[in-house]
Amino acid sequence: MLCARLPPAHDAAPSRSPPSSICSMQFLAALILIAVWSTTALAINWSVQGLAYPAALFGRFSLAAVVALALMFALYRKRLPGGAAWRAYLTAGLGTSLSMLCTYWASRHVSSGLVAVLFGLIPLSTALFARLWLDEKLARHELVGIGLGVAGLVVVFGERLSLAPDGLPALLVLLLAVALQSGAAVRLKPYGQGLPALAVNAGALLVCAVVTGMLWLAHGAPPPWEAPPRTLGAVVYLALVGSVLAFSLYYWLIRECRPGQVAVLSLLSPASALWLGHALNDETVTGRMMAGTALILAGLVLHQRHTLRHWRG
């Protein structure tokens, strides 16, 4: 899905994996990301039940930073790379923490469907930033594929696109969150070359912990460890799976692929979350869900048609 027209991989040590092996690893990483992102919305909802959102964010990122730094030392037997590497940490950390703060705040004023549809714009905004900063051009079939994917999200979540009377500021903040997320992904592309993805993630999570920790202190919210058991469990899940695992895979894919190819995964996650609810929670499958999912899948196939031809060949 993600292995067509990719630049050569760069890591702390040269990769000896054959192209087919690298392609398989990227495909597996993409599937894991979609699975994790599909469960994130529910986990975020649980993590703020009985806990102020600044405390939930700080608990998530502080625990994730500690675990990622420990893994970094255990696997590489060295401290976090410094110097120029801090450009990658600050770019990823500030982009993630500020985007998440905007999303958590805005989610209190707009519907979850509107959040899902707006985050479906990430491939388009990523393509715009990549055109401006990396001089990447978006092919016509990629534009049409993204358009089909966004249309599919609108169909799936059309009944939930409500906006409260005071929701216009929240809508603008959500658009800012989309811009921060996609802009940081594009900026990270040149900065992350030559760095292990876990190192980028550990440094970024450290920045996230500092930013959200300052907000938590300013907010005066109770500490995260005083949360109810289910809330605390959701915070731990988001820290270990949603941040340590998923962000490491995300930064690795950004390094290995074009940013727009990684961003297009965000089209599939909201719809897959609904189907996961049907499979695990007996939630109703409607005609809108089936039609919207078909549009999203058609858009993904069109967007990645060169990759599919590569596999067939």
DSSP structure class, residue 12: S
Predicted confidence (pLDDT) per residue in 250-282, tens digit: 999 888 887 777 877 777 777 777 676 667 656
Model confidence at 91, in pLDDT bands (50, 70, 90)? Answer: very high
Q: What pLDDT was estimated at residue 9?
A: 37
Give residues with Cβ within 8 angstroms of 149, minimum separation 6: 120, 123, 264, 267, 268, 295, 296, 299, 300, 303
Model confidence at 247, in pLDDT bands (50, 70, 90)? Answer: very high
Q: What pLDDT was estimated at residue 160?
A: 65
The residue whose two tokens read 């897959």 is: 272
Closest among 252, 292, 13, 290 to 153, alpha carbons compared: 292
Instruction: Give the whole-angstrom CA distance, residue 152 versus residue 148.
Output: 6
Furthest-apart CA pair in the chain: how many Å?
Answer: 59
% the chain with pLDDT above 90:
30
Q: What is the mean pLDDT of residues 140-151?
A: 84
Greater pLDDT, 42 or 240: 240
Q: What pLDDT was estimated at residue 1?
A: 46
Q: What pLDDT was estimated at residue 176?
A: 95
Greater pLDDT, 86 or 306: 86
Instruction: Give the whole-angstrom CA distance, residue 295 versus residue 59.
Output: 37
Phi, psi angles (nearest 5°) of residue 162: -85, 150
Q: What pLDDT was estimated at residue 313?
A: 46
Domain ranges for the chain, please list them: 24-308
